[in-house]
Structure 1
Amino acid sequence: MGKHVVVGSGQVGSHVAAKLVAQGHEVTVVTRSGSGPEGAVKVAADIADQARLIEVTKGADVLYNCVNPQYHRWLTDWPPMAASFLAAAESSGAVLVMLGNLYAYGPVSVPMTEDLPLSSPNPKFRVRAKMWDDALAAHEAGRIRATEVRGSDYFGPGATDQSYLGDRFIVPLKAGKSVQLIWPGDVPHSFTYLPDVADALITAGTDERAWGRPWHVPTAEPLTFRGIGTRMAELLGRPAPRFSQVPWPVIRLGGLFSPMMRELKHVRYQFTAPFVLDSSAFQRTFGVAPTPIDEAFKATLGA
């Protein structure tokens, strides 16, 4: 058993920490508020405080970056926190496992693989690309051991209200009401199951074959919002749900008042054309597969 430090206790970090505790590891969870699951040591800290994070990670075997600032704060919040993670990984010798995403690839017309360039021109997404570039440079210089694990849009138990398959989708579906979408309902899109994200992060932190490169979380075949809703309704023994879509001009208007809605314009390309994640490299290397989709849907529905 080893010492694992999980920074962040949101929809991914909470799963990672709970799984590690269940496996018998020594687990420390670091958040601003000092929250975390039972069985973990809970530490309240400012992640941008390098000295504090270095202190907390002494003796750690693996350090997980599961932090996720709000999109409109990425340019200001990420650089100092990224510097703290690099400093803590170098000081402690812990493997740095970064929770990444697909934004840095930018718009692509093919299934996304890990060898695609991080070519998004969006300044916020360039911040994420630089974080990985800096970690990889430190890894290649022998200063740290690092890897990044990237998934598509999350769903599953514990998903936040920002999830497109969260309560805004599930609650009306279960109630037999119309499901309101902000994106087209019939465009194929990859969705990544939260427990699979946690499992992939843990594997990446403890298997040296993962270090020095990025990986995609095992993810099921792409589906449409309509297809997902229809299958979920079938699993509940109910008729196919009705769908409505919020007109894009209304969303743009909402962006005048909501920072989160204002950011939707930057990811719109992901939902107006097929957005497909290829996770075959991780599945082949580590001999795992995504959770069967019906099993994942049942857990998401609490069915």
Structure 2
Amino acid sequence: MNVILGTGPLGMAVMRELLSRGESVRLVSMSGKATVPSGVRVEKADLMDKDQSKAIMKQAKVVFQCAQPPYQKWDELFLSFQDSIVSGAMTAGAKLVVAENLYMYGQVKGNIHESLPYTATTKKGEIRAEMSRRLLQLHQEGKLQVTMGRGADFFGPDVHNSSVGSRLFKPIMKGKACTVMGNPDKKHTYTFIDDFGKALVVLSQNDDAFGRAWHVPNAATVTTREFVEIAYRLAGFPAVIRTMGKGMLRLGGLFIPAARESIEMLYQFEQDFIVDSSPFSKRFGLVATSLESALAKTLDAQK
């Protein structure tokens, strides 16, 4: 049994890929509710509770960790949240596939690759680094079979709370101005949500994928301006781009806690942010969806 923790866009992408391979799937969320195909079970559990975590994973063979606490509560919840999930996976003897981002590397000059040290100085980057270290230590001690798939800022159908989520694409579909973070003329790697989901499933089915982190496949990196201009062209409108810096994020943070929490990560959008995912593609033969195709699918989902 494959158990997916989280019913957000990534959890759903993993579900779709597993179903396409004829695999059985069970999803877990705090609410126990999600719109899923027939035959897919959705169960309710508070994953902060170790007893509930163990109970919900009892018969799992593979656990996909695609859940997280609210962005503004990472510092107080995320480490214990992961510890509870790890406890459940270890008790079940299940393989654990963890979705991560790239915060742990900190500010990087040049391409971002898996062999870089964890040099983050931001609060959320340090949390991500510590979480990854704990997972790898458990694997090295033979207590947990774990692999991590790392993606950049993701986009795609049903992606809302991302720098390139529905708040970006809905105005593009109407030919209105959109707002992007940081410097739009810096290169930035973006991850298509379906590629992320497929990559996590591929990792789960290859024993040599465990015991390390992998950058999931991404299309060729372009500037944020180029990324948005392609979307406008596909939507049939000229591009109208506005930018959001620290001042606007601080203002937005008065009303939206997640916006305030984004300020420390703004450096990713103020300098080139280029992710190397070639080791994954070379090992598993999986390449990313073309940027045009991924953006076309994303726009179609806004209708």
Q: State if a TM-score over 0.5 links the two structures.
A: yes
Aligned equivalents of 2:228 and 2:79: distance in 1?
A: 38
Amino acid paired to 2:269:
F
Q: Give 2:207's aligned residue.
A: 208
| Secondary structure of the corresponding residue to residue 97 of structure 1 | strand
Match of 2:262, SS? helix
1:290 aligns with 2:303: no
After superposition, give the CA deviation of every residue in 1:252-296 in whole Å (9 maximum; x if it has no partner): 233233311211211111001000100001000101100111111
**What residue in structure 2 maps to residue 28 of structure 1?**
26
2:300 paired residue number: 302
Residues 2-30 of structure 1: CA deviation (Å, up to 9, x unaligned): x1010001010111123223322221111
Structure-1-length-normalised TM-score: 0.94
Deviation digits for residues 189-231 of structure 1, max 9, x if unmatched? 0000000000111111111111000000101121222212222
Kindly indicate whether the alpha-carbon contact (under 8 Å) linking 1:5 and 1:62 is maintained by their aligned counterparts in 2: yes
Match for 1:263 among 258, 261, 285? Answer: 261
Residue of structure 2 in register with 1:119 after alignment: 119
Any conservation in 1 of the 2:171–2:178 contact (CA below 8 Å)? yes
Counterpart CA distance in 2 for 1:246 and 1:90 is 43
Amino acid at match of 2:147: T
Aligned residue in 1 for 2:228: 229
The 5-angstrom pairing of residues 79-158 of structure 1 reads: 79-158=79-158
Distance (whole Å) between structure 1 residues aligned to residue 29 and residue 183 of structure 2? 36
Summarize deviations over 1:37-91 as a string: whole Å, max 9, x none: 2222211010011122212212311011101222210112212221112212211
How has the CA–CA distance of structure 1 residues 56 and 173 changed in structure 2, closer, same or farther, with 3 Å as cutoff?
same
| Secondary structure class of the residue paired with 2:191 | strand
Distance 1:143 1:248, change over 3 A: closer
CA 1:245–1:53 in structure 2 vs 1: closer, same or farther (change >3 Å)? same
Q: Is the 8 A contact 1:229 1:240 kept in 2?
A: no
Q: Does 1:56 align with 2:77?
A: no
Counterpart contact for 1:62–1:96, Cα < 8 Å: yes
Distance 2:153 2:259 in 1: 16
Contact 1:179 1:244 in 2 (8 A): yes
Whole-angstrom distance in 1 between the partners of 2:54 and 2:152: 30
Aligned residue in 1 for 2:189:
190
Q: Determine if contact 1:29/1:35 at 8 Å carries over to the other structure.
A: no
Q: Which residue of 2 aligns with 1:74?
A: 74
- SS of 1:249's equivalent in the other structure is helix
| SS of alignment partner, residue 175 of structure 2 | coil
Q: Following TM superposition, where does structure 1 have runs of at least 4 consecutive aligned residues deviating by more than 3 angstroms? A: none
CA-atom RMSD, angstroms? Answer: 1.6
Percent identity reads 33
Q: Which moved more, 1:136-145 or 1:193-202?
A: 136-145
TM-score by length of 2: 0.94
| Alignment check: 8 A CA contact 2:246 2:266 kept | no
Which amino acid in structure 2 is aligned with residue 96 of structure 1? L
Q: 1:82 to 1:174 in 2, by over 3 A?
A: same
CA distance in 2, matches of 1:271, 1:223: 12
Report what 1:245 is aligned to.
243
8 A Cα contact 1:8 1:66, kept in partner: yes
Cα distance in 1 for residues equivalent to 2:188 and 2:234? 21
Name the residue aligned to 1:167.
Answer: 166
1:181 corresponds to which residue? 180
One-letter amino acid matched to 1:31: S
Describe the shift of the 1:239–1:34 C-alpha distance in structure 2 as closer, same or farther (beyond 3 A).
closer
Cα pair distance change 1:172/1:257, threshold 3 Å: closer
In 1, the alpha carbon distance for the partners of 2:196 and 2:273 equals: 18
